[in-house]
Amino acid sequence: MMNAARKAARGLIRDFGEVENLQVSMKGPADFVSSADLKTEKLLRQELQKARPNYGFLMEEGGEVVGADSLHRWIIDPIDGTTNFLHGIPHFCISLALEREGEIVAGVIYEPIHDEMFHAEKGAGAYLNERRLRVSARRKMEEAVFATGIPFKGRPGHEQFVADATAVMATCAGIRRFGSAALDLAYVAAGRYEGYWECGIRPWDIAAGIVLVKEAGGYVTDMDGKNEMLATGEVVAANDHLHQPILKLLNSVRGPDSQKN
């Protein structure tokens, strides 16, 4: 997985240097797909298929491909942070995860501009390059920095986001929105953020980050505190001290009839 990510990243870096010349098509309101996404996903699929020819795939651009081995599936986001990429903002990554019988057991998030390779395997810990990762040790909400995503044009959940952010802003040291869910989760694993939450998120955005945070000693659930993040599109990740407080706070502004996004 790490070798595939590094190989694919070489082309991404070249494309990022010529971002104004990229062929870009509209995938939806404020949601773009570039030729770089497509090329990167194709290369990643080829490399992973060489290693495990029978595994299936779930890909952002190419959708689901059922493999002969029904127990294993690669989950691929070729560029998480596409809008950043297309605007020349150096904050994007390749995200790869391996799912075994419905559980994420390995993840790689590679940020090529700064050569940061976040990787984790179930039971083997989480790492940034060769350094072991551990979630932040901060215990107080007022000292904590949280990351999130803001729903863009054409996506539901704007009012709920405002309510969530208002509640969190009143209790913590700050909120960050950098535009890459995968890197948000990697930063939680690295202790750079105390936590991250978002709704309306897709499996390929968070799959690799889930195992990273867990292996770094953190907690990841959906809004109900369950392990159904890929199905619900909800994710709340935080260190072991602040996961319950942030989860409780977010649910305090969500009534029983609040819309799930």
Averaged pLDDT for residues 74-90:
94
More confident: 23 or 58: 58
In Å, how far are 71, 186, 248 from 105, measured between CA atoms? 12, 15, 28
Averaged pLDDT for residues 226-251:
97
φ, ψ at 180 (rounded to 5°) = -145, 105
Averaged pLDDT for residues 153-172:
88
Question: Rounded CA gap, 212 and 218, in Å?
Answer: 9
Averaged pLDDT for residues 229-252:
97
pLDDT digits (tens, 9 = 90+) for 118-131: 999 999 999 999 99
* Residue 94 CB-density burial (10 A; 0-12 exposed, 13-18 middle, 19+ buried): buried
Q: What torsion do the CA atoms of 20, 21, 24, 29 make, to the nearest 10 degrees?
A: 10
pLDDT digits (tens, 9 = 90+) for 129-143: 999 999 999 999 999
Q: Are 139 and 245 in contact (CB under 8 A)?
A: no
Average pLDDT of every residue of the chain: 92
Question: Rounded CA gap, 241 and 238, in Å?
Answer: 8
Domain regions of the chain by residue span: 2-132, 141-252
Q: Are 175 and 146 in contact (CB under 8 A)?
A: yes
- Tokens 């690295």 label which residue? 190
- Topology (CATH level 3) of domain 141-252: D-Maltodextrin-Binding Protein; domain 2 (3.40.190)
In Å, how far are 21, 22, 109, 253 from 88, measured between CA atoms? 12, 11, 20, 36
What is the model's pTM?
0.92
Q: Are 18 and 86 in contact (CB under 8 A)?
A: no
pLDDT at 158: 87
Question: Rounded CA gap, 145 and 79, in Å?
Answer: 25
In Å, how far are 12, 72, 120, 206 from 53, measured between CA atoms? 25, 11, 22, 24
Q: Which CATH number fits domain 2-132: 3.40.50.300, 3.30.540.10, 2.30.30.100, 3.40.50.720?
A: 3.30.540.10
